[in-house]
Amino acid sequence: MRFESILGAAIVSTFVACKDNVAPRVVVNAPSRTFRLGFSANPPKATTESALATIDAWSRRADAAIMHIGVPYKALLTGTSAATYVNTVNLPLANLYRAKGFPLVITVDVTDGLNRSAEAPELRDLGRSITEPAVQQVYRDYVKALVSTIRPDYLGLAAETNLIRLQAPAPVYSALVKMANDAAADVRAIGGTLPKLYVSVQADVAWGPPPAAYRGVETDFADFPFNAVLAISSYPYFSFADPDQIPLDYYTRLAGGRSLPVMVVEGGWTSAAVGSIQSSPATQARYIRRQERLLDSAKAIAMFQLNYTDIDMSSYPPQPPGSVLALFVSIGLVDTNLQPKRALATYDSVFARPLKQ
């Protein structure tokens, strides 16, 4: 989900009032970790105040930040330049993260993040499609503006490409392949210090819910040859009842023998029972511990859980029928009032491990 439009330019005048990070309480005799930890600005409530409070809370227990942002198709297709949009909406949040000393990762989400069979909601509302050259061009302009203005450390040109390939119409996936590769060429032409590029893949789709056969992500490596990092999305509570059932090579097997660095760019485990999924705060805490083992096994370089908090659905516009958002509202480490859940203490014990520089 994309929340940066909620923040907008208001951050420019308000972030300076946020508290400084508290120095991490590193446990010196603990084993070091290779992976940075961080979150996004996703707030529990749809207000600037909620977003700023959320960032202030998690920034004390993080050493990196991520922005998972949708392409602002409506603005770009109705006269707003990519440079204007990036400077007005995206740059203030990036500057906030830079002021806190965080390395910055950005994932650009091309399609509907809650329904990979569909195009982005703004495009559907406009009756447009990424199969159109004009729509592909505004995406490319937006990517170039992000790189030229923000210079993130890592940049994802699309999210969950294997899931899109599985669920979306073939022409949509083909368009995605073309526009992402064209954008990668655009970025390389900018020059200077450039971000490492990737598309993210969905680990749970690659493995398939047990006992489905392992699919892998070899097609994604072939279709997006610019990948400089194996970027992973994973919500394994859709496939496993118990976190300890997740294989220790859940991340490393996806690399197919390649020596790419591994980075988890989104994921989590719900603390609540919802639909056919049975979970609890204790199960979520055990997932965090299992996640730690998966990251150690992969010698990962970073792990981002987009949602630090649970989501107050009453604060956001009503979701369309069939929305899967309800399945994600309880994956935060704190509740909608920023009160700790059981998993937060487990997470803090992982964060307390010294970061191997």
Report the CATH number that the domain containing residue 162 is assigned in CATH: 3.20.20.80
Residue 325 falls inside a structural domain: yes
Distance of alpha carbon 5 from alpha carbon 95, whole angstroms: 15
Distance of alpha carbon 172 from alpha carbon 21, whole angstroms: 43
Residue 356 falls inside a structural domain: no
Residue 10 token pair: 């208001």
Residue with tokens 């949602």: 307
Phi, psi of 16 (to 5 degrees): -65, -20
Nearest residue to 264 (alpha-carbon basis) of 58, 40, 110: 40
CB-based contacts of 167, cutoff 8 Å, min separation 6: 116, 117
Residue 95 falls inside a structural domain: yes
Nearest residue to 166 (alpha-carbon basis) of 125, 128, 231, 111: 111
Contact between residue 164 and residue 111 where contact means Cβ atoms under 8 Å apart: yes
Residue 16 falls inside a structural domain: no
Residue with tokens 């993080």: 62
Structural domains counted in the chain: 1
Contact between residue 111 and residue 172 where contact means Cβ atoms under 8 Å apart: yes
Distance of alpha carbon 308 from alpha carbon 8, whole angstroms: 20
Distance of alpha carbon 335 from alpha carbon 63, whole angstroms: 22
Classify each residue of 75-107 as buried b or exposed e, where b means 16 or more C-beta atoms within 10 Å of its C-beta: bbbeeeebeebbeebbbbbbebbbebebbbbbb
Contact between residue 107 and residue 67 where contact means Cβ atoms under 8 Å apart: yes
Domain that holds residue 265: 4-11+24-351
Residue 198 falls inside a structural domain: yes
Residue 17 falls inside a structural domain: no
**Per-residue pLDDT reduced to its tens digit, 4-22:** 443 443 443 344 334 434 4
pLDDT of residue 26: 65
| Weakly modelled stretches of the chain, pLDDT under 50 | 1-24
Nearest residue to 307 (alpha-carbon basis) of 97, 57, 63, 115: 57
Residue 19 falls inside a structural domain: no
Contact between residue 181 and residue 143 where contact means Cβ atoms under 8 Å apart: no
Residue 346 falls inside a structural domain: yes
Nearest residue to 44 (alpha-carbon basis) of 314, 234, 267: 314
pTM: 0.92
pLDDT of residue 129: 98
Q: How far is CA 101 from the centre of its chain?
A: 19
